[in-house]
Copies of this chain bind each other. A is one copy, B any other.
Amino acid sequence: MKNVRIVLVETSHGGNIGAVARAMKNMCLEDLVLVNPRQFMTDECVARASGADDILHEAQVCRSLDEAVADCSLVVGASARLRTVAWPQVDPRECAALVVPRARQGRVALVFGRERTGLTNAELERCQYLVHIPSNPDYSSLNLAMAVQVLSYELMMQDPQGSAEQASPESSPTTAGDMQGLFGHLEQALEDIGFLDPRKSDKLMRRLKRLFYRAEPDLDEIRILRGILSAAQGRKSARRDS
Interface residue ranges, A against B (CB under 8 Å)? 19, 22-23, 25-28, 48, 50-52, 91-93, 133-136, 139-143, 145-146, 149-150, 153, 156-157, 160
With A149-B150, A156-B135 given, is the CB distance from A143 to B93 under 8 Å? no
Inter-chain contact B133/A153, CB cutoff 8 Å:
yes
Q: Which residues of B contact A141 (CB under 8 A)?
A: 26
Which 4 A-B pairs have CB atoms at the shortest separation, nearest pair first? Answer: A28-B136, A146-B149, A26-B135, A25-B139
Q: Which residues of B contact A157 (CB under 8 A)?
A: 91-93, 134
Please measure, in the bound complex, the distance between the C-alpha atom of A26 and the C-alpha atom of B134, giving whole angstroms. Answer: 9
Most buried by B among A19, A143, A160: A143
Q: Which residues of B contact A139 (CB under 8 A)?
A: 25-26, 51-52
Which residue of B26, B91, B136 contacts A146 across the interface (Cβ within 8 Å)? Answer: B26
Q: Which residues of B contact A93 (CB under 8 A)?
A: 157
The residue on B at minimum CB distance from A156 is: B134
The residue on B at minimum CB distance from A54 is: B139
Most buried by B among A19, A28, A150: A150
Q: Which residues of B contact A27 (CB under 8 A)?
A: 135-136
